[in-house]
C-alpha cells in the first residue's frame, strides 16, 4: 500500500467527500489561496472554487455559527479553526447551540458539521497557539470528539465524521502532519466510537491519544529490548468512548498507564481512569492506575521548557519502569 503523510491523508478525505457529496464545503481562515495554516486545504480552491472553499474574516465565532446555520439547512460544512486555542471564541455556538439543537427540537433538526482544529505543542508557538482542549468538549453531551493518531486513521475518521449527523470536534496534532503511513487510495470509513489495539503486549497497558500514540510506540519498542511487552490502546474517539477494549487489555496486563498531552488535571485520563476503577477490570489491577499528562502550566515559548512541559518518550519509559516494579 502507498504511504502518504497525515496532512495528505486529511486533504484526500476532504477532496473525496467534496467530489462525492455536493453539500460538503469548507469554511475558515486562509483556507483558499493560502491552503490553510498547515497546508491541509492546499489546491482545493482551484479544484472546487470559491463557493465551496470559503475564506472568512478572522472570526472563530463566525466560522462556528456559519457551520451550524448551513448544517441546519441541509449542508455538511467542514469548518477549520486555525489553532485549537481560538476555539475558545466559538464556545457559545458550539456548547449552547450545536450540541443542543437536535435534542431541543426532538430530533426534527440535525446539525451535521465537522470543526477541524490543529492542537498541541512542539512547534515553538507558545502559550496561545499550543493548547490541547479536547476534554472541554468531551464534557458536552451532543458533541463528538475525534483525535486521529495516524494517516490511515485521519482519512477514515474524517470521512466518517463528515457523514455523521452530529457536530464533530476533529482534533489534529500539528506534529502529526508530517508523519507518513499506509493509506488506501479509495474512500473508506472508520467508525466513530471504536478503539484500536495498536500493539499487543502482556506486561503493561498504555492508553494513549493523538501524538502520544506515536510516542508510546517508540517507548514500547525500547522497552521490548528490555523484555517488557507493552500493549497500546488508542481510543481514536474520546466521545463516544469505546472503553471495553481498554478494560479487556487491563484484565490481560494488570497494569495501566494513561498518556495524553493535555494538562493532567481534568484531562481525558481522569475519565478513563475512573471508568477502569468502576469496571470489572479493577479486580485485575496489580498496581495503581497511573496517569501521565502535561504539566499544570501554559506551554512555554522556550524550546527546552516546551519539551519538558508535555510527556516525551523517556517519561513514558520511566512510568512503565515504575509500574513494572509496583504491586498492589
**Which of 129, 224, 308, 321 is flagged as catalytic?**
129
Residues belonging to the chain? 328
- Which ranges of the chain have pLDDT less than 70? 326-328
For residue 198, the model assigns a pLDDT of: 98
pLDDT for residue 1: 85
Kindly list the structural domains of the chain, giving each domain's residue range(s) and its CATH number in brackets, ordered by start: 3-182 (3.40.50.970), 196-325 (3.40.50.920)
The pLDDT value given to residue 327:
62
* Consecutive H or E run containing 28: strand 24-28
State phi, psi for 83 to the nearest 5 degrees: -135, 140
**Ramachandran angles phi, psi of 324, nearest 5°:** -60, -35
Q: Judge whether 129 counts as a catalytic residue.
A: yes
All three cell numbers of 220: 514500547
The answer, yes or no, to whether the previous bond of 240 is cis (omega within 30 of 0) is yes
Query: pLDDT at position 325, please?
Result: 86
Sorted by sequence, the CB contacts under 8 Å of residue 143 that are 6+ apart come out as 94, 98, 99, 137, 166, 167, 168, 169, 239
Q: What are phi and psi of 96, to 5 degrees?
A: -90, -20
In this predicted model, what pLDDT tens digit does every residue of 11-47 receive, in sequence order? 999 999 999 999 999 999 999 999 999 999 999 999 9
How many angstroms from the chain centroid is the CA of residue 167? Answer: 14
> Which set of grid coordinates corresponds to residue 156?
477514515
User: What pLDDT is attached to residue 25?
Assistant: 98
Amino acid at each position: 500500500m502507498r504511504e502518504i503523510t497525515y496532512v495528505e491523508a486529511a486533504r484526500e478525505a476532504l477532496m473525496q467527500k467534496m467530489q462525492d457529496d455536493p453539500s460538503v464545503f469548507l469554511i475558515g481562515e486562509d483556507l483558499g489561496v493560502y491552503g490553510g495554516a498547515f497546508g491541509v486545504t492546499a489546491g482545493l480552491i482551484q479544484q472546487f472554487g470559491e463557493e465551496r472553499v470559503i475564506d472568512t474574516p478572522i472570526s472563530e465565532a463566525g466560522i462556528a455559527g456559519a457551520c451550524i446555520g448551513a448544517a441546519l439547512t441541509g449542508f455538511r460544512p467542514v469548518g477549520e479553526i486555525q489553532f485549537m486555542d481560538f476555539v475558545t471564541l466559538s464556545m457559545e455556538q458550539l456548547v449552547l447551540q450545536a450540541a443542543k439543537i437536535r435534542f431541543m427540537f426532538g430530533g426534527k433538526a440535525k446539525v451535521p458539521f465537522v470543526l477541524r482544529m490543529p492542537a498541541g505543542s512542539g512547534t515553538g508557538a507558545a502559550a496561545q497557539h499550543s493548547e490541547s482542549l479536547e476534554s472541554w468538549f468531551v464534557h458536552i453531551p451532543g458533541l463528538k470528539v475525534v483525535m486521529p493518531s495516524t494517516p490511515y486513521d485521519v482519512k477514515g475518521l474524517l470521512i466518517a465524521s463528515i457523514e455523521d449527523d452530529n457536530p464533530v470536534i476533529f482534533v489534529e496534532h500539528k506534529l502529526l502532519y508530517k508523519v507518513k503511513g499506509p493509506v488506501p487510495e479509495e474512500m473508506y470509513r472508520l467508525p466513530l466510537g471504536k478503539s484500536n489495539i495498536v500493539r499487543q503486549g502482556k506486561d503493561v497497558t498504555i492508553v494513549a491519544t493523538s501524538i502520544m500514540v506515536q510516542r508510546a510506540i517508540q517507548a514500547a519498542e525500547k522497552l521490548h529490548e528490555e523484555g517488557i511487552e507493552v500493549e497500546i490502546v488508542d481510543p481514536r474517539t474520546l466521545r463516544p468512548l469505546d472503553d471495553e477494549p481498554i478494560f479487556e487489555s487491563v484484565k490481560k496486563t494488570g497494569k495501566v498507564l494513561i498518556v495524553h498531552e493535555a494538562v493532567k488535571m481534568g484531562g481525558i485520563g481522569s475519565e478513563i481512569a475512573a471508568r477502569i476503577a468502576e469496571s470489572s477490570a479493577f479486580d485485575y489491577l496489580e498496581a495503581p492506575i497511573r496517569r501521565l499528562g502535561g504539566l499544570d502550566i501554559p506551554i512555554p515559548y522556550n524550546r527546552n521548557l516546551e519539551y519538558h512541559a508535555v510527556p516525551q518518550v523517556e517519561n513514558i519509559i520511566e512510568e512503565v519502569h515504575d509500574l513494572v516494579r509496583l504491586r498492589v
